[in-house]
Chains A and B, each alone.
Chain A
Amino acid sequence: MDNKTVETISYLARLKLDKDKKDKITKDLENIINFVDELQDINTDDVTPLANPLEKTAPKRKDFVNSKDRKEVFLENSPQSDQDYFIVPKVVE
Chain B
Amino acid sequence: MSIKYKTLSELKELLEKKDISSFELVEETFKNISSSKTNSFITLNEEVALTKAKEFDQGECEGDLAGLPIAQKDLFCTKNLRTTCGSRILENFIPPYNATVVENLSKAGSICVGKTNMDEFAMGSSNETSYFGAVKNPWDLERVPGGSSGGSAAAVAEGLVCAATGTDTGGSIRQPAALCGITGIKPTYGRASRWGMIAFASSLDQAGAFARNAEDCALLLNHICSHDEKDSTSLSNDKENYLENINNDLKGKKIGIVKEFDISNLSKEVQDSFEQSKKIFESLGANFVEVSMPNIKLSVPTYYVVAPAECSSNLSRFDGVKYGYRAENVNDLEDLYIKSRSEGFGDEVKRRILIGTYVLSAGFYDAYYKKAQQSRRMIKNDFVKAFSEVDVIMSPSSPSSAFKIGSKTEDPIEMYLEDLFTISSNLAGVPAMSIPHGFSKNLPIGLQLIGNYLEESEILNFAHQYQKNTDWHIRNPDFGDNS
A42 contacts B326, C-beta separation under 8 Å: no
Closest Cβ of chain A to B93, distance in Å, is: 7
Which of B304, B339, B380 touches A36 (beta carbons < 8 Å)? B304
B333 contacts A88, C-beta separation under 8 Å: yes
Q: How distant is the Cα of A80 from the Cα of B324 in the complex, in angstroms?
A: 11
Closest Cβ of chain A to B31, distance in Å, is: 33
Q: Give chain A residues whose Cβ lies under 8 Å from the Cβ of B370.
A: 49
A16 contacts B354, C-beta separation under 8 Å: no
Q: How distant is the Cα of A48 from the Cα of B332 in the complex, in angstroms?
A: 44
B339 nearest in chain A by CB position: A16
Q: Give chain B residues whose Cβ lies under 8 Å from the Cβ of A49.
A: 370, 373-374, 376-377
Interface residues of A in 37-88 (CB under 8 A from B): 37-40, 42, 44, 47-54, 56, 58-59, 61, 70, 73-74, 76-80, 86, 88
B19 within 8 A of A: no
Q: Give chain B residues whose Cβ lies under 8 Å from the Cβ of A28.
A: 351, 412
Given known pairs A16-B342, A40-B367, A74-B96, the reply for A32 and B190 (CB within 8 Å) is no
Secondary structure class of chain B's binding surface, majority of residues: helix
B232 contacts A77, C-beta separation under 8 Å: no
Best-surrounded residue of B301, B341, B372 (most CB of chain A within 10 A): B301
Closest Cβ of chain B to A89, distance in Å, is: 5
B350 within 8 A of A: yes
Which of A10, A36, A40, A77 touches B354 (beta carbons < 8 Å)? A10
Closest Cβ of chain B to A31, distance in Å, is: 6
Q: How distant is the Cα of A3 from the Cα of B158 in the complex, in angstroms?
A: 45
Q: How distant is the Cα of A36 from the Cα of B359 in the complex, in angstroms?
A: 10
B457 within 8 A of A: no
A15 contacts B203, C-beta separation under 8 Å: no
Q: Give chain A residues whose Cβ lies under 8 Å from the Cβ of B336.
A: 88-89
Closest Cβ of chain A to B317, distance in Å, is: 12
Q: How distant is the Cα of A6 from the Cα of B357 in the complex, in angstroms?
A: 10
A38 contacts B354, C-beta separation under 8 Å: no
A35 contacts B373, C-beta separation under 8 Å: no
Interface residues of B in 81-124 (CB under 8 A from A): 93-94, 96
Which of A52, A78, A89 touches B330 (beta carbons < 8 Å)? A89
A31 contacts B298, C-beta separation under 8 Å: no
A38 contacts B298, C-beta separation under 8 Å: yes
B417 nearest in chain A by CB position: A35
Q: Give chain A residues whose Cβ lies under 8 Å from the Cβ of B324.
A: 79
Count class of interface residues, chain A: 35 or more
A88 contacts B321, C-beta separation under 8 Å: yes
B337 within 8 A of A: yes
B380 contacts A50, C-beta separation under 8 Å: yes
Q: Give chain B residues whose Cβ lies under 8 Å from the Cβ of A58.
A: 232-233
Q: Give chain B residues whose Cβ lies under 8 Å from the Cβ of A42.
A: 295, 298, 371, 375, 378
A25 contacts B350, C-beta separation under 8 Å: yes
Which of B94, B337, B356, B428 touches A53 (beta carbons < 8 Å)? B428
Which of A47, A61, A77 touches B229 (beta carbons < 8 Å)? A61
B377 contacts A50, C-beta separation under 8 Å: yes
Closest Cβ of chain A to B304, distance in Å, is: 5
Best-surrounded residue of B302, B351, B377 (most CB of chain A within 10 A): B377
Interface membership of chain B positions 293-326, coded 1 if the CB is closer than 8 angstroms to chain A and 0 otherwise: 0010010111011000000100010011111111
Which of B188, B235, B358, B373 touches A50 (beta carbons < 8 Å)? B373
A53 contacts B347, C-beta separation under 8 Å: no
Which of A25, A39, A70 touches B372 (beta carbons < 8 Å)? A39
| B residues lining the A interface (CB < 8 Å) | 93-94, 96, 188-190, 203, 229, 232-233, 235-236, 295, 298, 300-302, 304-305, 312, 316, 319-326, 330-339, 341-342, 345, 347, 350-351, 353-359, 361, 367-368, 370-378, 380, 412-413, 416, 427-429, 453
Given contacts A25-B351, A39-B368, 11 further A-B contacts (CB under 8 A): A5-B358, A14-B319, A25-B350, A44-B371, A47-B377, A47-B378, A51-B373, A54-B233, A89-B333, A89-B335, A89-B336
